[in-house]
Amino acid sequence: MNPIRTSPLAQTATTQTQQQNRVLRNTYWLLALSLVPTVLGAAVGLYTGIAQAMGQSPGLTAMVFLIGAFGLMFAIQKNRDNGLGVALLLGFTFFMGIMLSRLIGFVLGMGNGASLIMTAFGGTAVVFASMATLASTIKRDLSNLQKFLFIGAVIIIVAALANIFLQLPALMLTISVLAIAIFSAFMLVDLQRVMNGGETNYVSATLAIYLDLYNVFANLLMLLGIFGGDRE
Query: Does the pLDDT at position 126 exceed 80?
Result: yes
**Cα-atom radius of gyration of the chain, to the nearest Å?**
20
pLDDT one-digit tens code per residue, 18-32: 777 888 899 999 999
Share of the chain above pLDDT 70, in %: 91
Give the burial string for 8-23 (b: 16+ CB within 10 Å, else e). eeeeeeeeeeeebeeb
Split at pLDDT 50, 70, 90, the class of 1 is very low
Q: For residue 113, what pLDDT band results from cuts at 50, 70 and 90?
A: confident
- pLDDT 10s digits, 161-181: 898 888 888 999 999 999 999
Q: Are 118 and 68 in contact (CB under 8 A)?
A: no
pTM of the model: 0.90
In the chain, where are the structural domains located?
16-228
| Residue pair 50/98 in contact by the 8 Å Cβ criterion | yes
pLDDT of 2 reads: 52
